[in-house]
Amino acid sequence: MNWLTDFIRPRIRSIVGEQKEMPDNLWQKCPSCDGMLFHRDLEENLNVCYHCNHHLRITVKQRLKIIFDDSEYTRIELPAVAHDPLKFKDRKKYAERLKEAQSKTGLKEAITLALGTIGGQKAVIAAFNFSFMGGSMGAGVGESLIKAAQTAVKEKAALIVIPASGGARMQEGMLSLLQMPRSIIAVEMVKDEHLPYIVLLTDPTTGGVSASFAMVGDVHIAEPGATIGFAGRRVIEETVREILPANFQTAEYLQEHGMVDMVVSRRELAETLGRLLNIFMQALSAAPENDNTQDNAKGGKALTSKKAGKKDVKSSTKVLAKTAISQIKAVQKAAGDFQDAKKKPTAKKAN
């Protein structure tokens, strides 16, 4: 600080008038490369920095528009739950925080449910809103995941969950912890029917959310650079007292360590999801009719449907091969993933 900044600059300002800040809704800085991003260009680029390919967070609305065919989908109403059964209060009442989040976002809860088609295949998407209390999972979110699963079963649709969440909503105490098994039960409902369950891990997926439904998908897709992990980076640094690698707990790091099948950029997301769903769903439709009861799903019929499924993947690969050479590789790779994923029901039978 010197006379220049302390004295001269304020004087000049008082003469010229306060410099106008650029309206922040027009331009923003990329948090990764500091490049300036014009809002319209950024939106057109699906909220991906056009200088460095950094994936900025995206609203659920934008996300659904990108993924669903023709950007069309039906919203599924969220189930009603008892909010704030603990009457939790920290420096502020949880009930107030909840209301604030609702009026800030115009949403009822930290999750949105939608039904539509992706690559021509029916799918239910449950997408977390990070701007709603950090996307935290309480009874409202857990119950919504159950409803999403039930809808997927009813519609014979795939279930895609897109977490963007710091973890459990601690203002709901034990009730929020119980959403971990509850959300996994939701997934079980879908798996019982042999419907595909795909997780799209977005920034961030941590804590109780990562340690439940987010890690039991048939396929795990992650967005580039997304933070995914159980414990927070700071907690770990304090515990182990060592500097963690820069890419620690990123999507790429998780893929390297075998927890994520693929890291897919936002531009290729819809195509990837569509391809996966088509492979899975074609396998299912080629399978001999099975009456979809829980007991049957574990019996011999499931085994035959599995075999038939494999055959179908091969034939569908052939069909697609005609269209483009590049697609062959992709489908074969996905078919490999598919066969891996399909091993799961076998493991289940061993129980």
Contact residues for other proteins (CB under 8 A)? 81-82, 85-86, 88-91, 139, 142-143, 146, 168, 170-178, 180-182, 184-185, 187-188, 207-208, 210-216, 228-232, 235-236, 239-240, 242, 244, 248-249, 257-259, 294-295, 348, 350-351
C-beta closer to other proteins: residue 307 or 349: 349
CB of 258 to other proteins, least distance (A): 7
Buried-state track 272-302, b at ≥16 Cβ within 10 A, e below 16: bbbbbbbbbbbbbebbeebeeeeeebeeebb
| Token pair listed for 197 | 């369950």
Which segments within the chain are labelled E, that is strand?
A: 27-29, 36-38, 73-76, 111-118, 121-128, 158-162, 197-201, 205-206, 219-222, 228-229, 262-263
Q: Nearest approach, Cβ of 347 to other proteins (angstroms)?
A: 9
Asked whether the beta carbons of 183 and 137 are under 8 A apart, the reply is yes
Nearer to other proteins, 117 or 290 (CB): 290
Nearer to other proteins, 133 or 157 (CB): 133
Shortest Å distance, C-beta 102 to other proteins: 19
Distance of CA 303 to the CA centre of its chain: 30
**Smallest distance, Å, CB 248 to other proteins?**
7
Closest to other proteins by CB, 149 or 313: 149
- Distance in angstroms (rounded) separating the CA atoms of residues 117 and 190: 17
Distances (CA, A) of 60 to 5, 72, 236, 296: 44, 14, 30, 37
- Shortest reach from residue 74's CB to other proteins, in Å: 25
Q: Structure tokens of 91?
A: 């420096």
Q: Which is nearer to other proteins, 101 or 281 (CB)?
A: 101
Cβ-proximal residues to 87 (8 Å cutoff; 6+ apart), any chain: 94, 95
Backbone angles phi, psi at 27, to 5 degrees: -120, 145
Nearest-approach distance from CB 176 to other proteins, in angstroms: 5
Give the DSSP letter of residue 289: P
Q: Which is nearer to other proteins, 83 or 310 (CB)?
A: 83
